[in-house]
């Protein structure tokens, strides 16, 4: 552990990784709370896998992967959002299709990319230690956007998540706010993929908020606690992985998963005691 | 008297067999109308047409002199099934405030006036002391009163309730109907129920629906009417509550 803090004080890449983790925690704490209370982790998973397609295509054409990721995330969010508002029953199937097709496109384009071999593993499991400094600015901008939108539209987002039909009857533009919410979820997914990769993105999106929701009964406090938990998990995972040289993304998720399990046991135990 | 709800020859189907056929109905201002009928008779569907959530496949619905979609702002609605998960992290007070959504500014949320209206609605339905409780902790009767408060917070001219007491105990059911009785001097009320015996002591008129509008009465229902409605004789349950 001390080795980690020494390295953190002196090593540039580790500082960037650490800050990247903190920035990702803000997005995942706030948007993850919506994903958990609105029960849309499958939908977020679909967006994440479509993002792999976008990154692969961008890489193939020599563009930065994050621009491809953002474009694909937006398209996927709008398609999925529109479909799930329109044909509720078949939305599941369409998300699953987008999920696998996005993944397939990504794998094919990455394999076709000439020159040196792109490490597919780093897309799948992320590589927080290799985040370019410029991505920190992108992540900070996305955090700013997310927080601004949630501050301004807190009531509207809450109404759409809580009771869509009633919100529509009150004259709220439900489609607009639902798609805006999914857009923000999509951008969060992009940020998180940098940190923990595609496979683990859902875990970091849902675990902190799910733990927070076990203890708190109001949305705003859940967002705050989920953000703090996310910071603890990313920071802790990074520190734990340093000395034994474990993959950072996977270690972060193990920390989060362990915390969730412990929390489940504790609340389950407390509930049993009360009865 | 002027009718605020007019249905003319309304038919509807979800793509299969007809769910509503040639329904004609006029509701006068100030009426407290009970809409009864067996399960699957199209009661909820009829309400959704009144709310503009569904379009009739033929016929016309006119509310407050306009289309249902235009009249929405003046309709308070208590749905049959709570569409939300019960562990949603929201307090009773926040739910009632959502009745003010149509009036809320795009930026900045609810105003003091909205909070005052929500407070009145919570007091009126006797759930003011529950306002900080998460909805998941409320009993069935309390939740229904919170949903009624949310509908009242919209300051409706027409209040529509879809089986508001289907899943709560008789005590709480009486409380809700006593509340509606108080409200009827201020607004027109349309309430769906399948408990004819019970609501007939509260409402000013009953309309019976079974795909078509089968009967219509201002007096107590006769056994014959019920037989006509359900297609078989049923025992009439008399609630001797007051
Ligand atoms: N969304 C829907 N899609 C298809 N059929 C429906 C839908 N909603 C209701 N129905 C059918 O329409 C009929 C009337 O339903 P409903 O209006 O809910 O009746 P009630 O409220 O009187 O019990 C039923 O046969 C029901 O199965
Ligand atoms: Mg019904």
* Ligand 1 pocket mutation pick from B14, B41, B162, B191 by most atoms within 8 angstroms of CB: B14
Q: Which ligand is nearest to the CA of B43?
A: 1
Choose from A148, A164, A169 for mutation: most chain B CBs within 10 A: A169
Contact B73 A155 (CB under 8 A): no
Mean local confidence (pLDDT), B53-80 = 93
Asked if the model's pLDDT at residue B218 lies above 90, the reply is no
For residue A199, give both structure tokens.
């496979």
Which of A269, A270, A267, A239 has its CA nearest to residue A254? A239
Query: Residue B98 is nearest to which of A154, A159, A213, comparing CB atoms?
Result: A159
Rounded CA gap, A65 and A142, in Å? 16
Alpha-carbon gap, residue B197 to B216, rounded angstroms:
15
In the structure, what pLDDT confidence band is assigned to residue B169 with cuts at 50, 70 and 90? confident
Give strand pairing partners of B23.
B10
Closest CA to B34 of B144, B193, B148, B188: B193
Residue A166 to residue B51, Cβ atoms within 8 A: no
**Residue of chain B whose Cα is closest to the Cα of A166:** B77
Closest CA to B188 of B207, B203, B172: B203
Overall pTM surpassing 0.90 (yes/no): no
Q: Which member of A152, A154, A222 has the closest CB to residue B89?
A: A222
Q: Tell me the pLDDT tens digit for each residue of B87-135.
A: 899 999 999 999 998 776 666 678 899 999 999 999 999 999 999 999 9
Confidence of residue B230 (pLDDT cuts 50, 70, 90): low
Q: Following DSSP, what letter does each residue of B76-100 receive, concatenated?
A: EEE-SS--S-TT-S-BHHHHHHGGG
What are the Cα distances from residue B94, in Å, to A36, A129, A155, B129?
A: 19, 43, 9, 13
Measured in angstroms, the CA of A206 and the nearest CA of chain B are apart by 15
Of A162, A169, A216, the CB nearest to B88: A162
Mean pLDDT, rounded, for A91-117: 85
The pLDDT value recorded for residue B239 is 46
How far is Cα B176 from Cα B190, in angstroms, rounded to an integer? 14
Q: Which residues contact A41 (CB under 8 A, 6 or more apart)?
A: A35, A202, A205, A206
Q: Is the pLDDT of residue B242 over 60?
A: no
**What integer pLDDT is reported at residue B200 of this predicted model?**
84
Asked if pLDDT for residue A117 goes beyond 70, the answer is no
Q: What is the pLDDT at residue B52?
A: 93
Q: Are strands B205-210 and B212-217 parallel, antiparallel or unpaired?
A: antiparallel
Reduced 3-state DSSP string for chain A: CHHHHHHHHHCHHHHHHHHHHHHHHHHHHHHHHHHHHCCCHHHHHHHHHHHHHHHHHHHHCCCCHHHHHHHHHHHHHHHHHHHHHHCHHHHHHHHHHHHHHHHHHHHHHHHHCCCCCCCHHHHHHCCHHHCCHHHHHHHHHHHHHHHHHHHHCHHHHHHHHHCHHHHHHCCCCHHHHHHHHHHHHHHHHHHHHHHHHHHHHHHHHHHHHHHHHHHCCCHHHHHHHHHHHHHHHHHHHHHHHHCCCCCHHHHHHHHHHHHHHHHHHHHHHHHHHHC
Cβ neighbours of A160 (radius 10 Å) = 25
What pLDDT score does B66 carry?
A: 93
Give me the phi and psi of B108, to 5 degrees please: 105, -10
Q: B227 CA to middle of ligand 1, Å?
A: 22
Which residues, 6+ apart, have CB-to-CB distance to A156 below 8 Å? A167, A172, A177, B101, B104
Neighbours of A119 (CB within 10 A): 12
Q: What is the pLDDT of residues A120-153, one digit of tens each?
A: 777 788 888 888 888 899 889 989 999 999 999 9
Tokens found for residue B157: 């001219």
Residue B23: which of B151, B209, B205 has the closest Cα? Answer: B209
Give whole-number Cα distances, B237 to A112, B4, B202, B223, B241, in Å.
76, 32, 15, 11, 12
Q: Copy the structure tokens of residue A21.
A: 């983790």
Nearest to B84 by CA among A86, A65, A179, A167: A167
Average pLDDT over residues B190-197: 86
Tokens 């109404």, residue located: A159
Looking at the CA of residue B209, tell me the nearest atom of ligand 1.
Answer: 22
H-helix or E-strand spanning residue B227:
helix B223-230
pLDDT digits (tens, 9 = 90+) for A231-274: 999 999 999 999 998 989 899 999 999 999 999 999 888 877 76
């Amino acid at each position: 552990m001390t080795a980690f803090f020494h390295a953190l004080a002196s090593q540039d890449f580790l500082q960037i990784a650490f800050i990247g983790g903190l920035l990702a925690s803000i997005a995942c704490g706030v948007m993850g709370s919506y994903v958990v209370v609105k029960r849309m982790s499958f939908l977020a998973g679909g967006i994440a896998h479509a993002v792999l397609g976008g990154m692969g295509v961008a890489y193939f054409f020599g563009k930065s992967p994050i621009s491809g990721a953002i474009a694909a995330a937006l398209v996927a969010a709008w398609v999925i959002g529109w479909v799930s508002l329109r044909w509720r029953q078949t939305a599941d199937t369409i998300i699953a299709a987008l999920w696998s097709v996005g993944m397939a496109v990504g794998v094919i384009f990455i394999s076709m990319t000439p020159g040196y071999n792109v490490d597919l593993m780093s897309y799948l499991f992320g590589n927080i230690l290799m985040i370019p400094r410029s991505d920190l600015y992108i992540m900070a901008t996305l955090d700013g956007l997310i927080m601004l939108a949630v501050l301004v539209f807190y009531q509207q987002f809450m109404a759409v998540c809580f009771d869509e039909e009633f919100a529509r009857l009150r004259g709220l533009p439900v489609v607009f706010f639902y798609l805006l919410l999914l857009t923000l979820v999509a951008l969060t997914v992009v940020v998180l993929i940098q940190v923990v990769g595609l496979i683990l993105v859902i875990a970091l999106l849902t675990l902190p908020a799910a733990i927070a929701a076990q203890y708190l009964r109001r949305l705003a406090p859940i967002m705050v606690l989920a953000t703090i938990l996310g910071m603890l998990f990313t920071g802790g995972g990074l520190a734990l992985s340093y000395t034994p040289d474990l993959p950072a993304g996977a270690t972060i998720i193990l920390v989060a998963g362990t915390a969730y399990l412990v929390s489940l046991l504790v609340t389950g135990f407390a509930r049993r005691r009360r009865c | 008297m002027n009718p605020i709800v007019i249905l003319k020859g309304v038919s509807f189907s979800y793509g299969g067999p007809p769910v509503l056929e040639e329904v004609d109905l006029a509701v006068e201002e100030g009426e407290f109308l009970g809409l009864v009928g067996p399960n699957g008779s199209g009661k909820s569907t009829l309400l959704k047409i009144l709310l503009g959530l569904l379009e009739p496949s033929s016929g016309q619905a006119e509310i407050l002199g306009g289309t249902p979609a235009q009249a929405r702002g003046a309709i308070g609605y208590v749905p049959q099934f709570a569409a939300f998960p019960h562990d949603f992290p929201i307090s009773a007070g926040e739910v009632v405030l959502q009745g003010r959504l149509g009036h809320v500014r795009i930026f900045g949320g609810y105003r003091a006036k909205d909070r005052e209206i929500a407070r009145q609605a919570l007091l009126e339905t006797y759930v003011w002391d529950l306002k900080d409780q998460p909805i998941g902790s409320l009993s069935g009767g309390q939740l229904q009163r919170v949903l009624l408060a949310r509908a009242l917070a919209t300051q409706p001219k027409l209040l529509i309730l879809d089986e508001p007491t289907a899943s709560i105990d008789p005590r709480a059911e009486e409380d809700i109907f006593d509340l509606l009785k108080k409200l009827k001097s201020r607004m027109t009320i349309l309430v769906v129920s399948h408990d004819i015996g019970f609501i007939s002591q509260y409402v000013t008129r009953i309309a019976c629906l079974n795909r078509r509008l089968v009967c219509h009465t201002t007096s107590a229902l006769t056994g014959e009417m019920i037989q006509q409605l359900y297609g078989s004789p049923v025992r009439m349950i008399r609630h001797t509550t007051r």
